[in-house]
Structure 1
Amino acid sequence: MKRITIYDVAKEADVSLATVSRVINGSEVVREDTRIKVQEAIEKLGYKPNAIAQGLALQKTTTIALIVPEASFFYTGQIINGLIDVAKIYKYNIVLHTTTEGITEMNDIIETIIKSRVDGVVIFNDKLCKDELNTLTRYQVPIVVIGNRMSDETIGSVYVDYAKLIYEFAAQYLEKGITDIALIEDRKNPAMLKQLNDGLQHAMEDKGLTFDNFVEIPKEYRSSYLYLKEYFKTHKHQLVITYRDSQAMAVLNSAKENGLMIPDDMEVVCILDSKYNAMARPQITGFKIPDYDLGAVAMRVMTKMLKEDDEVIDKEIELSYIYTPRQSTK
């Protein structure tokens, strides 16, 4: 049987979530006819208020929990800065929590955080899917996800559409007749690689072609470099795409060690640009992702979700990117 939530009550009574919350918690600012309408909806649906949610409604803490996977620290500095800067403006405190894959379960840490009475939760984790977040809606606490496109009554998201990014980029090369495009597997970021793979397949299909140059890194190899050093002895592509800077450098070095000149023999692009791409020789082309804005906009979405009014807000915010050509492309 489907669990009845506060959102069902709000829909049945045709009022806002804030109004239902005020009725449940005995607020005197609700009109009597509205109160009766909400109470009738509660009785009709058999809604049982969540004890944790009631406690949160009664005692705001002005505290937002930020959950970041330990493995993502290198890329999250500016995201955290953006989030904290906006949080200061709205006088919210940020409490940082980390998860370690295989050790700490995401659902467990979120339940612990919510029971500690935070007002909302921001999650930076591009591996999360909508099904995994469904269990979190029972807490009736606003959640903003950075990195995935998803939304619900209590869930918002801020993201970059990497599938669209790679589609638009590959389409330009295909227009020039460059069809031998390869994508290097990144075992640390399977969800992101799926987006890139989907975008490349879409671009190829639009030209009547098939994308079949997904370069998998065998499990017996501890690093991409060790495998690519062997791979480029017998393979060469017109364009090689990687997700992270370390893999782009692995391609750069292993290709040069096998006599391939970059970019004359093979062009290299790194999706997630970093300062290290500009330090490589040749400098590596990449895409500037608005990391600071991801954090700042996520916190702004959170503040809107926490407001007790009937404002309709966009809970899926897509941010753009900047293509940064360097010496590894022609």
Structure 2
Amino acid sequence: MKKVTIYDVAAEADVSLATVSRVINGSDLVKDTTRLRVEAAIDKLGYKPNAVARSLALKRSTTIALVVPEASFGFTGQIINGLLDVAKIYNYNIYLHTITEGIVDIKDVIDNIIKSRVDGVVIYNDRLGNVDIEALATYDIPIVFIGNKLKSDNISSVYVDIEMAIFELAQKFLDEGVKEISVLQDRKNEYAASQIVSGVEKACKANGSVFDHYIEIPQEYRSSYAFLSEYFKTNKPEVIIANRDSQAIAVINAAQEAGYRVPEDIQVVCVIDTKYNKMLRPQLSSFAMPSYDLGAVAMRMMTKQLDDSVPEEEINHNIELSYVYTPRKSTLK
């Protein structure tokens, strides 16, 4: 016979884990109607609270799982900082899970999240596919996804419209007479890369042309730079768009070593702006993304979802943040 858990009670009563915990501990913060619903669910399922469940409300702590790629990335670090600052305000604990390509299995991460009995999950990692995300959603845990706008009734999202940003950028280049806009593959963020490609495709279509300059990095190359050093021996694109600063830097170094001038011969754009973009010579044109705000807004969204006093209609489950394109010395204009 399956053991009844606090997750089952929360699902039966249609409330958060924190609410079930408060009812178990006799908290005054729960409305009478909600308390009766939870108590009815406990009786129906025959749930017997364990020590962990009883300690949740007594300690006044709520734990959120944060799933991110390698935390060493500067952009990821700012997202984490924003999230942690808001979590401190609400006395939330953060349980960090990092996913490193080829080292950590995503299914193991999901299993660890469920076993840790967290109250909610914030995800910034495009390597969690729809199947993985829906697997988390079945546990009736509030989920907020950073970076991707998801079409799901069970998952909220905070994002920047990268596709629109790139569409506007590509239109600018095409209006200036550029004929060939290339997009460099990003193995570490396939979702962002797909948004970049989509933005360029739509701009080309609106201009009466077809996008066919996706630079795919063969699996045998461990780095973008190694591949690009070979690529520039026989190719000279007018514009290259790279998602991350390390890739854009590899483009510039490999292009210059091949005898090309940046931006006179090849213009380079990095989508995500970081402090390194201004340190490079030439400085990288890029988009200022609100990385800190992405984390902060995602955490605030989570606190509202876990607060039963906040009406559902007051919770915005999809929030789009703005971006600013900053032209520098790696492009002509």
TM-score for both structures, normalised by structure 2? 0.81
CA distance in 2, matches of 1:219, 1:262: 27
CA distance in 2, matches of 1:50, 1:209: 63
CA deviation digits over 1:242-263, x for unaligned, max 9? 1111221222122222222211
Residues in 1 aligned to 2:91 and 2:35: alpha-carbon distance in whole angstroms:
32
The match for 1:317 among 316, 319, 331 is: 319
Give 1:304 deviation, angstroms. 0.5
Q: Is the 8 A contact 1:224 1:247 kept in 2?
A: yes
User: Deviation at 1:80?
Assistant: 1.1
Measured after TM superposition, the shift of residue 129 of structure 1 is: 3.4
Tell me how far apart the structure 1 counterparts of residues 145 and 102 of structure 2 sit (CA, whole Å): 21
Give the 3-state SS of the residue equivalent to 1:268 in structure 2: strand
| Runs of at least 5 residues in structure 1 that lack an aligned partner in the other structure | 11-15
CA contact (8 A) 1:151 1:316 kept: no
Correspondence for 2:99: 99
CA positional deviation for 1:155: 2.3
Q: 1:57-206 alignment to 2 at 5 Å?
A: 59-60=56-57, 61-70=61-70, 73-150=73-150, 152=152, 154-206=154-206
| Secondary structure, counterpart of 2:138 in structure 1 | helix
Is 1:262 the equivalent of 2:262?
Answer: yes
Cα contact 2:183–2:197 (8 A) shared by 1? yes
Query: Counterpart amino acid of 1:125?
Result: N
Shift of 1:152: 4.4
% identity of equivalent residues? 49
Shift in Å at residue 302 of structure 1?
0.4
User: Take 1:124 and 1:57, find their aligned partners in 2: how far apart are those partners?
Assistant: 31
The alpha carbon displacement at 1:210 in A equals: 0.6
CA drift at 1:7:
9.6
Structure 1 counterpart SS, 2:81: helix
Against the structure 1 CA distance between its residues 159 and 263, is the aligned structure 2 distance closer, same or farther, given a 3 Å change threshold?
same
Q: Distance in 2 between the 1:50 and 1:191 partners?
A: 41
CA deviation string 1:33-64 (max 9, x = no partner):
9968x97xx8xxxx969999xx7698343222
Specify which of 314, 325, 328 is matched with residue 326 of structure 1: 328
**CA distance in 2: counterparts of 1:194 and 1:315, whole angstroms:** 23
1:59 aligns to what SS in structure 2? helix
Could you tell me how far 1:105 is from its partner in structure 2? 3.0
For 2:245 and 2:75, locate their aligned partners in 1 and report how far apart those are by CA, in whole Å: 11
Structure 2, unpaired ranges of 5+: 1-7
2:285, 2:155 → 1: CA distance? 35
Which secondary structure does the structure 2 equivalent of 1:70 belong to? coil
User: In the aligned structure 2, how far is the partner of 1:49 from the partner of 1:217?
Assistant: 56
Cα distance change on mapping 1:279 and 1:215 into 2, 3 Å: same
Q: 1:317 to 1:58 in 2, by over 3 A?
A: farther
The normalised TM-score by structure 1 is 0.82
In 2 relative to 1, CA 152–102 (structure 1 residues): closer, same or farther, beyond 3 Å? same
Distance 1:175 1:275 in 2: 29
- Go from structure 1 to structure 2 and tell me whether the alpha carbon gap of 1:7 and 1:261 turns closer, same or farther (over 3 Å shift): same
Cα separation, 1, equivalents of 2:88 and 2:149: 26
